[in-house]
């Protein structure tokens, strides 16, 4: 087994390699003068089971191309099996046609990754479960919920908790976390989104008064929805509001928005390499997921059960 990484999240790749007690594969990712990407693998991978780690986060197109070119390099180097480990799968929010004459880009990207030569895909908290079906190769979708639940129990155990979904679409995710927190009660934020990146909280479904609320979601991008939801929960009597989000995209002024918000803290995983602003923020905390991904990689290599990780 070998672990190779692109440039999107080298610290996470190194942490996974350390967990597995194997070195990262020696490879270089370079740019020509016109920004074309060139990847060269400096060791033999013939007949090897290779895991290439690359989140397709900002800059999404560059990181996606690095992944595709890396897969092609491994394929032409006669790797036995190539598993694309994509902690954050970009373009996942374009998983359906929201209107006429619009693309389903998540399916397109899945086809491109498959066509490039990947034999398997491993990701974390896909935006929608059906994206697994967009790939014509085996696809494992890991869940950060067990890691988050352990952290919540350690920090907020014994308090009057309530798990909150920031929209109707995230209810299944919120219910799964609530079940791990000794069947904590569940509330839902009813919101209206007139255009991408902007939302307005309409109602809170559930009695949140006197509760310590835990907002759970897969992606925080601009942070507007999250901050609006936190304020609405406090306006409805919640004692405090913390948010646990798997993928901290945090584009634009999101970090500043979180710092000024009513959130007690925002906890994100390191599926995306945190920016310096996110690292420096007193309201944002990073939750490592290298053990989760590393254990899944080990089980795939050993041909053992991945799903039993979540039993």
Residue boundaries of the structural domains of the chain: 2-142+291-310, 145-288
The residues near 26 (Cβ < 8 Å, ≥ 6 apart) are: 41, 42, 43
pLDDT computed for residue 21 by the predictor? 97
Q: Which residues pair with residue 204 across a beta bridge? A: 189
**What residue ranges of the chain have pLDDT lower than 50?**
none
Asked if residue 159 has a cis previous peptide bond (ω within 30° of 0), the answer is: no
* CATH hierarchy code of domain 145-288: 3.40.50.2020
Quote the mean pLDDT of the chain. Answer: 94
The residues near 122 (Cβ < 8 Å, ≥ 6 apart) are: 51, 83, 84, 85, 86, 139, 140, 142, 293, 296, 297, 300
Q: Which CATH number fits domain 2-142+291-310: 3.30.428.10, 3.40.605.10, 3.40.50.2020, 3.40.50.1980?
A: 3.40.50.2020
If you ran DSSP here, which 8-state letter would residue 86 be given? E
Which residue ranges make up the annotated binding site for D-ribose 5-phosphate?
Answer: 193, 217, 221-225
Residue 64's CB: how many other CB atoms inside 10 A?
A: 23
Q: Is residue 191 flagged as an active site residue? A: yes
41 three-state secondary structure: strand
Q: Which tokens hold the place of 279?
A: 């690292």
Active-site residue, selected from the candidate residues 2, 107, 179, 191: 191
CB-facing half-sphere around the CA of 48: CA atoms within 13 A:
16
Two domains, one topology: 2-142+291-310 and 145-288: yes
| Alpha carbons 137 and 61: distance in angstroms, whole number | 22
pTM: 0.93
| Alpha carbons 280 and 256: distance in angstroms, whole number | 11
Place of tokens 């109602």: 203
The residues near 185 (Cβ < 8 Å, ≥ 6 apart) are: 162, 163, 178, 206, 211
Q: Name the phi and psi angles at 131, rounded to 5.
A: -65, -30
Alpha helices, H only, 34-170: 60-76, 105-116, 145-156
Which residue ranges make up the annotated binding site for Mg(2+)?
Answer: 127, 167
Characterize the bridge pairing of strands 27-31 and 37-41: antiparallel
| Alpha carbons 260 and 266: distance in angstroms, whole number | 12
Q: Dihedral, CA atoms, 117, 300, 217, 243, nearest 10 degrees?
A: -130
| Alpha carbons 198 and 4: distance in angstroms, whole number | 38
The residues near 59 (Cβ < 8 Å, ≥ 6 apart) are: none
Q: Name the phi and psi angles at 169, rounded to 5.
A: -65, -20
Residue 242's CB: how many other CB atoms inside 10 A?
A: 21
Q: Which tokens hold the place of 130?
A: 């059906």
pLDDT computed for residue 190 by the predictor? 86
pLDDT computed for residue 203 by the predictor? 86
């Amino acid at each position: 087994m070998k672990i190779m990484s692109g440039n999107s999240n080298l610290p996470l790749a190194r942490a996974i390699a350390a967990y597995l007690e194997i070195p990262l594969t020696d490879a270089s990712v370079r740019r020509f003068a016109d920004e074309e990407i060139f990847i060269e693998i400096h060791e033999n991978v013939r007949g090897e089971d290779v895991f290439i780690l690359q989140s397709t986060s900002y800059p999404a197109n560059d990181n996606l191309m690095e992944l595709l070119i890396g897969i092609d390099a491994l394929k032409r180097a006669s790797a036995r099996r190539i598993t694309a480990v994509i902690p954050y799968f970009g373009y996942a929010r374009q998983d359906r046609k929201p209107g006429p004459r619009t693309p389903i880009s998540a399916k397109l990207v899945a086809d491109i990754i498959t066509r490039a030569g990947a034999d398997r895909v491993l990701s974390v908290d896909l935006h929608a479960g059906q994206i697994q079906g967009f790939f014509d190769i085996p696809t494992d979708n890991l869940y950060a919920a067990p890691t988050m639940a352990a952290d919540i129990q350690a920090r907020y155990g014994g308090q009057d908790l309530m798990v909150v979904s920031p929209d109707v679409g995230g209810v299944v995710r919120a219910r799964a976390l609530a079940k791990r927190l000794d069947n904590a009660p569940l509330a839902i934020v009813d919101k209206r989104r007139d255009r991408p990146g902007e939302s307005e909280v309409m109602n809170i479904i559930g009695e949140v008064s006197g509760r310590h609320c835990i907002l759970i979601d897969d992606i925080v991008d601009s942070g507007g929805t999250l901050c609006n939801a936190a304020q609405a929960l406090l306006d409805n009597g919640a004692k405090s509001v913390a948010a646990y989000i798997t993928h901290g995209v945090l584009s634009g002024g999101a970090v500043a928005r979180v710092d000024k918000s009513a959130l007690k803290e925002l906890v994100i995983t390191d599926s995306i390499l945190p920016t310096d602003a996110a690292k420096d923020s007193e309201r944002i905390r990073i939750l490592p997921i290298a053990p989760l991904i590393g254990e899944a990689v080990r089980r795939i290599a050993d041909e053992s059960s991945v799903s039993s990780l979540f039993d």
